Amino acid sequence: MAEIRPAQPSDAAALSALASRVFTETFGTLYAPEDLAQFLDETFGPMGLPAQIGDPDYAIRVAEADGALLGFVKTGPVAFPGEWGSDTTELHQLYVAAEAQGTGVAKTLIDWALDHARGKGYSRIVLSVFVDNIRAQRFYARYGFAEIGRYAFRVGNQIDDDRIWARDL
């Protein structure tokens, strides 16, 4: 069974590698190699996800078993354009390695994210999902999220059609 714990600075390299691997396995064939490389560097490279470990604006939890990271979840300020208000937080990423899918890791991570947001006093949580990621959409729908809008998600020079989903806490 995976242990859920706060990400530590010592997790930076492994967390970056996990995030890059999961994104690439899930979406890598959709992008030109240079667009994918740019996105992975900006989002999961040293100035991206690893730099947010310990940042008080973000909460990052990792799922670990036998010394290996199996997944993670990150919440923080809403990055979507528009007025969201101080009562809304964003679930930026919830990634689970292929070998850990179906083991309850995703459920544990989403439960933590929802509890954390409530505990911080937020009344709503939002996220974005790629329009063709039906598996993720079904997962989030089971947890009470519903589509509320569209978002132009940039990967390098490519713009994807993401959907914004939300749920009240």
Query: How many whole angstroms separate alpha carbon 156 and alpha carbon 159?
Result: 8
The Cα–Cα gap between 33 and 54 comes to: 31
Q: What local confidence, expressed as pLDDT, does residue 141 receive?
A: 98
CB 125 within 8 A of CB 88: yes
Nearest to 23 by CA among 101, 112, 125, 94: 94
pTM of the full structure = 0.95
pLDDT at position 82 is 85
- The DSSP annotation for the chain comes to -PEEEE--GGGHHHHHHHHHHHHHHHHGGGS-HHHHHHHHHHHHSTTSHHHHTT-TT-EEEEEEETTEEEEEEEEES--SSS---TTEEEEEEEEE-GGGTTTTHHHHHHHHHHHHHHHTT-SEEEEEEETT-HHHHHHHHHTT-EEEEEEEEEETTEEEEEEEEEEE-
Determine phi and psi for 134, rounding to 5 degrees.
-65, -35
Q: What integer pLDDT is reported at residue 1 of this predicted model?
A: 75
Over its length of 169 residues, how does the chain's per-residue pLDDT go in tens digits? 789 999 999 999 999 999 999 999 999 999 999 999 999 999 999 999 999 999 999 999 999 999 999 999 999 999 998 899 999 999 999 999 999 999 999 999 999 999 999 999 999 999 999 999 999 999 999 999 999 999 999 999 999 999 999 999 9
The rounded distance, in Å, linking the Cα atoms of 73 and 161 is 22
